[in-house]
Structure 1
Amino acid sequence: MPGTTEATRLEALRQLDLLDTPPSEAFDRITRMAAQLFRLPIAAVSLTDLDRQWFKSRIGVEHWSIPRERAPCAEVAETNAPLLIKDLHGDPCYRDSLLARSGIRFYAGAPLVTREGHGLGAMCVLGTEPREASAAEMQALGDLAAMVMAQIELQHAFGRIDPLSGLPNRLQFIEDLGDMGRDRPEPEPRLAVLVDLASPEQINQAVRVLGPDFLDARVRDVAGRLRRAMGPGRKAYHVAATQFAFLAQSGTEATAYAARLAEALEGIRDGSDGRFLIGVSAGIAPFLLGKTEPQDVLRTAHSAAQDARLGEQVVNIYCSTEDAAHRRRFTLLAAFAKALEQPEQFRLVFQPRVELASRRCVGAEALLRWRHPVLGEVSPGEFMPLVEQTAMARAATAWVLEQAMTQLAAWHRAGIGLRLSVNISATNLAEPDFAERVSQGLLRHGLEADALELELTESAVMADAGQALTALEALAGLGLGLAIDDFGTGYSSLAYLQRLPAKVVKIDRSFIQGMAEDARRRSLVAAMIGMLRGLGYRVVAEGVESAAVLDLLAELGCEEAQGFLIGRPMSAEALDEWLRAAPERAAVPA
């Protein structure tokens, strides 16, 4: 039985998480230097475990370990002193050892010693012929042993071990995965798992109420659970503030494993204070060890975990289709950011709006279009919802407003008295200088404020109703027209609608299309028009595609309409031709 000192040494060794880990190029580089220095075929970084010598790095050796009994490296670890054996066959302690029987004649080892003085093993070189070793060579071997220890400390204490959880971090996960793949003759199917304790919103709420110590305690608790669940020979990694990753055992089937993992995570959720982390979720990412890039393994596992949370699941298996959609969104955002620096990719099109009583064109809506040089024509229904959630919404709206005002001024100089509508987002309403910038644009282009109408959705208004009301009052104070777009699809409060300084409400196309054939839809539209007119709004119907619907809307008291029946979105030049082609719909002053 090992004594207390030996038990302490073994504990120090195991805390470093080196045993049974894959080969590492950082250690292999040092091992190659040792073999070249002594001009010997065999070298190793040998760690002395309870009953074995395990090789973290090896050259000229096929096996991973040998028995500790009568192994020279064990003596080096026990004494913390260099050991030189010029000929094992002539040494009374080792001439009958496994090494000697295997044809090894020469051994030299330098100790691997921690700062606390614990001997971990040896940096050793071996040969099949007896030989001498000079003091300079032994000094160099000691230097290489020190380099091994520096690498161990670097991994453990400086950037590779998370100080809170004590687990290896994301950098170590990526390196270990790469090392494991390099040591395999062919790719092996494996499963990577990422456990996410809670959403950012849940974490912020918990910390706000309970303080950061609460979160630290939960992270340490989960880290301990994972460490115990992994057992010897397997690692869990702390890859982000509240995220942990590990590999399922080789040969694990994904679907059955997902069910078992879900049950295990319920234990984490039900732990002490677990009620504050109800959003624990996990993603499982199948991959090929030795082929899939480690960064992609972590990314796909993270994507699967987020999909689990969005789908209100505990565990989700990575789906390439869902991931492709996420990557498409990211690609679009990155490409849009570059397009803002190259605005020739953008253009405006204009969809006419007619007054139903006279059937004359009284306005048009300016719509942004994007043609990417590689992606081609990108639908605004795809890119605009993404852009509106980012800071790019400010720059995009600024570009659209500038181009729209330029065109509007040109129309007015030509005697075409259109009112032009431009869509804005909730992000724009949060800009403290938005009203001022719009005002400056109108002055710069010599436009009256009432020639421009700004459209925003119910959802944009209600995202922060107080802020929206303040911003809209500032815009209305300039004399601008304001319109509520896509009415009926959001979650507006009628109380707020009455307070908003908007004068126009546009009923969403989903209510308009098909109303000629659907009596219930027709009744709903009639009620909406009646209510909105009763509240003092001018009502515009969107998505009009048939003459029957247009006539019905006029009968129900709707004032204006736009849609494919009237005109598709078109260039400014095409709109000019459209107006000239039918004098009866020539524009009148708004």
Structure 2
Amino acid sequence: MTCPHEGARLEALRKLDLLDTPPSEAFDRITRMAAQMFNLPVAAVSLTDSDRQWFKSRVGVDHWSIPRLQAPCGAVAETAEFVVIPDLLEDPGYRDSHLARNGVRFYAGAPLTTRDGHALGAMCVLGTAPRQITQSERAMLSDLAAMVMSQIELQHALGRIDPISGLPNRNQYIDDFSDLERDRPRGEERLAMLVHLASAEQLANAARVMGSTYVDGLVAEALRSFRVAFGAGTKMYHVAATQFLVLVAPDMALAECHARVDAWLQGRDARSTSRFVTTPAVGIAPFVVGATEALDVLRIAQGAVHDAYAGGMQVAVHSSAQDAAYQRRFTLLTEFGTALEARNQLRLVYQPRIDLATGACVGAEALLRWCHPELGGISPGEFMPIVEQTSMARPATAWVVDAALRQLRAWQEAGLALTLSVNVAAPNLLEPDFAAGIAAQLHRHGVPPGRLELEITESAAMGNQAAADRTLAALHAVGVRIAIDDFGTGYSSLSYLQSIPAHVVKIDQGFVRGIDTDERKRVLVSAMVSLSHDLGYRVVAEGVETEAAAALVRAAGCDEAQGWLYARALEPAQFAEWHAERTACVPAIGNAGPSHPY
């Protein structure tokens, strides 16, 4: 049985390009040492391939490989743990193995483990007679395995020194950080800095125009000046093309470090030849020796750099609160994919829309809710902006539309002639087959296209206008209704509003809440309603929470209203009960449907 991460383990093995390579004295020396130390006839550096054990080095063995099936080295690779079999003939798992049939009775193997925790195989010793192993022998074999891994790193890793800058690289930083934890007092507060010499876009533009030698010169120039600014007590590592990590001297406080960085940046701006085409940024990451991993220090420093660029600054200090927020965002993003596949995490709730002329409910807006099994309820205002920026925007919208159409079909069978609106993300408008997918879902659920309304924001429609225009035209041809959501908060391009094939404008709740006490809001709402009507749109006021607000938007000419005055977002059963009570209060309308042609 292979381990759950077998694919990643095999990938790590093959990246090292060790399999089927010629013998190496460096490995053979260790293997001979193992056989001599244990006084055993067989020793090997055994690498576990998908179906075989291949020997990079061997003593006392004529062949280069044996089948992986029932090979003890395979168990070492699968578990990444030390394996000892005192007598193969007494072990039910190995008594019929290839080794046992060839006279092997004793086996001991220490894992050859990469930095990422993948076991490539084993440093193993074998004997023809049963025996036990002492703790000192176990430690000795583990040390030999570590020596083998050191040889693998030396011969097949990228090395430890960057050839352009001459600085130690990321691999060396990780090793040095381990030494730091061993040599410095546990709990000591230290500083690390990540220096970006250019943003990703600037780097791409400069390399495209000037070539890689320009980037090399940029690095060399920055390192010379940085060494002068921070002195010999600072350890620097070249961790990416135009990024270097700095471990600040232990006696330097945050204020002094920040001041020196500021001075270095100012001096660089005064003398650097690249100052007109690149903008450096520095992220400062405080950490505690023994409490933070090497790669976590690099990660939080990277986050501080992004904070600097996002805030228009050149220097930013790591914020634990901001880091926690980014960690949560990443968690939500990774967990949302699981939620889409689960049956009990995502659901739709429905907020009614009311015809202001009749008081009847003419439709509803479908709103997505997520109840995570561990995090609990998560607001769509928190997770949807994240989802919409990723490839999950498409499956998320597909899930919502499918669930909404199932509800529409249920209402249809119950005799309710309602329209249901669904929010659509900007990336959906860039999908060339989005309209076709909506048409297929409508057909599958047996719902008339005019009962589905897709809400888009002005900014989503204007983001890539040519692609959005094609998608909206195709949706219009399918027969679904289009609503412009959050009207007044986006581009509000009058020329675009004139051409968009929409049916409804939804005035953002920010203009409606407080309208009874704000004369400017009343004027704005009245103007937006008049403009929308002149362009042929039906107008919905969102965020109506009081009778006074309802009266004012009705007086301004709004056709429909939506908000807590009428109902909060309701579960399907609650909506059915609410709708029945509402219909009883508006007997003239009953179930005959809305007063306008949907």
Same fold, TM-score > 0.5, yes or no? yes
AA in 2 matched with 1:506: K
C-alpha distance in structure 2 between counterparts of 1:220 and 1:255, whole Å: 27
SS of the residue aligned with 1:517? Answer: coil
| 1:320-331 matches, cutoff 5 A | 320-331=320-331
> Structure 1's 180 and 516: CA in aligned 2 closer, same or farther, altered over 3 A?
same
Q: CA deviation at 1:211?
A: 4.0
Displacement of 1:248 in angstroms is 1.4
Counterpart contact for 2:153–2:159, Cα < 8 Å: no
Give the whole-Å Cα distance in 2 for the aligned partners of 1:328 and 1:545.
32
Matches within 5 A, 1:202-213: 202-213=202-213
Distance 2:285 2:151 in 1: 30
Deviations 1:94-139 (A, max 9, x none): xxxxxxxxxxxxxxxxxxxxxxxxxxxxxxxxxxxxxxxxxxxxxx
1:325 and 1:189 mapped to 2: Cα distance? 23
- Cα drift, residue 501 of structure 1: 0.8
| Whole-angstrom distance in 2 between the partners of 1:463 and 1:554 | 32
On the 8 A contact 1:300/1:323 being kept in 2, the answer is: yes
Q: What letter is aligned with 1:202? A: Q
For 2:153 and 2:420, locate their aligned partners in 1 and report how far apart those are by CA, in whole Å: 67
C-alpha spacing 1:463/1:208, structure 2 compared with 1 (3 Å): farther
Matched, 1:245 2:264: no
- Calculate the aligned-residue CA RMSD, in Å: 2.6
The correspondence of residues 254-265 of structure 1 with structure 2, limited to 5 A, is 254-265=254-265
**Contact between 1:202 and 1:277, CA under 8 Å: does it hold in 2?**
yes
Aligned to 1:430: 430
- Partner Cα distance (2:291, 2:246) in 1: 18
State the alpha-carbon separation in 2 of the partners of residues 355 and 459 from structure 1: 27
Matched residues in 1 for 2:164 and 2:341: separation? Answer: 43
Aligned to 2:117: none
Task: Check whether the contact 1:191–1:286 (CA below 8 A) recurs between aligned residues.
Answer: yes
Q: CA deviation at 1:520?
A: 1.3
Q: Corresponding residue for 1:568?
A: 568
1:407-446 aligned at under 5 Å gives the runs 407-446=407-446
Contact 2:284 2:318 in 1 (8 A): yes
- Equivalent AA in structure 2 for residue 349 of structure 1: V
Asked whether the 8 Å contact 1:207–1:214 carries over to 2, the reply is yes
Deviation at 1:224, TM superposition (A): 4.1
Using the TM superposition, give the Cα deviation of residue 545 of structure 1 relative to its aligned residue in structure 2, in angstroms: 0.2
Kindly state the Cα deviation for residue 366 of structure 1 after the two structures are TM-superposed. 0.6
Q: Which amino acid aligns with 1:542?
A: E
Offset at 1:168? 1.8
Q: CA deviation at 1:157?
A: 7.6
Secondary structure of 2:475's counterpart equals: helix
Partner of 1:18: none
| C-alpha distance in structure 2 between counterparts of 1:513 and 1:240, whole Å | 50
**Deviation of 1:423 (Å):** 0.5
Mapped contact 1:533–1:539 kept (Cα < 8 A): yes
Deviations 1:151-198 (A, max 9, x none): 699299834333333322222212211111112343321100111122
Tell whether the 8 Å contact from 2:542 to 2:562 is kept in structure 1 after alignment.
yes
Amino acid of the structure 1 residue aligned with 2:368: L
Name whichever of 508-517 and 328-337 sits farther off. Answer: 328-337
Matched, 1:275 2:276: yes
Offset at 1:346? Answer: 0.4
Partner secondary structure for residue 341 of structure 2: coil
Output the amino acid matched with 1:206.
A
- Cα separation, 2, equivalents of 1:354 and 1:411: 17
Greater gyration radius: 1
Q: Which moved more, 1:360-369 or 1:524-533?
A: 524-533
The aligned residue for residue 353 of structure 2 is: 353
CA distance in 1, matches of 2:171, 2:559: 63
Counterpart code for 2:266: E
- State whether residues 155 and 172 of structure 1, in contact with CA within 8 Å, keep that contact through their aligned partners in structure 2: no
CA distance in 1, matches of 2:390, 2:420: 25
Q: Which is worse superposed, 429-438 or 382-391? A: 429-438
Contact 1:505–1:532 (CA<8 Å) still a contact in 2?
Answer: yes
| Cα distance change, pair 339–164 in 1 and its aligned pair in 2 (3 A) | farther
| Partners of 1:362 and 1:452 in 2: CA distance | 12
TM-score between both structures, scaled by the size of structure 1: 0.72
Structure 1 residue 511 displacement after superposition: 0.6
Task: Note the residue ranges of structure 1 that are not aligned, 5 or more in a row.
Answer: 1-29, 38-143
Instruction: Report the CA distance shift for 1:584/1:224 in structure 2 as closer, same or farther (over 3 A).
Output: same
* 1:40-60 C-alpha deviation (Å, 9 max, x unpaired): xxxxxxxxxxxxxxxxxxxxx
For structure 2, the 5+ residue unaligned runs are 1-29, 38-143
Secondary structure at the aligned position of 2:194 is classed as strand
Q: Kindly indicate whether the alpha-carbon contact (under 8 Å) linking 2:235 and 2:248 is maintained by their aligned counterparts in 1.
A: no
Kindly state the Cα deviation for residue 496 of structure 1 after the two structures are TM-superposed.
1.5
Asked if the contact 1:178/1:290 (under 8 Å) is kept, the reply is no
Q: Distance in 1 between matches of 2:177 and 2:156?
A: 17
Map residues 368-379 of structure 1 onto 2, 5 A cutoff.
Answer: 368-379=368-379
Conserved in 2, the CA contact under 8 Å of 1:365 and 1:421?
yes
SS of match in other structure, 2:415: coil
Q: Which SS does the other structure have where 2:344 is aligned?
A: helix
- Secondary structure (helix, strand or coil) at the match of 2:574 reads helix
Cα distance in structure 2, aligned partners of 1:471 and 1:230: 56
Residues 516-555 of structure 1 aligned to structure 2 (within 5 Å): 516-555=516-555
Secondary structure at the counterpart of residue 161 of structure 2: coil
- Counterparts of 1:504 and 1:216 in 2: how far apart (Å)? 56
| 1:357 partner SS | coil
CA distance in 2 between partners of 1:438 and 1:243 (Å) = 46
In structure 1, what is the equivalent of residue 168 of structure 2?
168
CA distance in 1, matches of 2:581, 2:150: 82
Structure 1 residue 395, shift from structure 2 partner: 0.8
Q: Distance in 2 between matches of 1:197 and 1:301?
A: 14
1:497 is aligned to: 497
Say if 2:477 is the partner of 1:480.
no
Aligned residue runs from structure 1 range 188-337, under 5 A: 188-226=188-226, 232=232, 234-270=234-270, 271-278=272-279, 280-337=280-337
The alpha carbon displacement at 1:200 in A equals 1.9
Q: Deviations over 1:312-359 (max 9, x none)?
A: 111111111111111111111111122122142000000100111111
Distance in 1 of aligned mates of 2:253 and 2:360: 66
Q: CA deviation at 1:302?
A: 1.1
Q: Is the 8 A contact 2:229 2:260 kept in 1?
A: no
Q: State the Cα distance separating 1:253 from its structure 2 match.
A: 1.4
Letter in 2 for 1:362: V
Counterpart CA distance in 1 for 2:185 and 2:155 is 27
> 1:329, 1:223 → 2: CA distance?
35
1:542 CA drift (Å): 0.5
Quote the offset at 1:149 in angstroms: 14
- The answer to whether the 8 Å contact 2:481/2:502 transfers is yes
Aligned CA distance change for structure 1 residues 415 and 232 (closer, same or farther; 3 Å):
same
Alpha-carbon spacing, 1:232–1:253, altered in 2? closer, same or farther (3 Å):
closer
**Where does 1:380-459 land on structure 2 (aligned, <5 Å)?**
380-459=380-459
Deviation at 1:573, TM superposition (A): 1.2
Residues 25-45 of structure 1, C-alpha deviations (whole Å, 9 max, x = no match): xxxxx9xx99x99xxxxxxxx
CA gap 1:213/1:426 in 2 versus in 1, 3 angstroms: farther
Task: Tell me which moved more, 247-256 or 210-219.
Answer: 210-219
Answer yes or no: is the 8 Å Cα contact 2:421–2:453 preserved in 1. Answer: yes
CA contact (8 A) 1:369 1:378 kept: yes
Distance 1:493 1:562 in 2: 25
Size of the aligned set, in residue pairs, is 449
Matched residue, 2:69: none
Q: CA offsets per residue over residues 366-413 of structure 1, 9 Å max, x none?
A: 111000000000000000000000001111111111111011011111
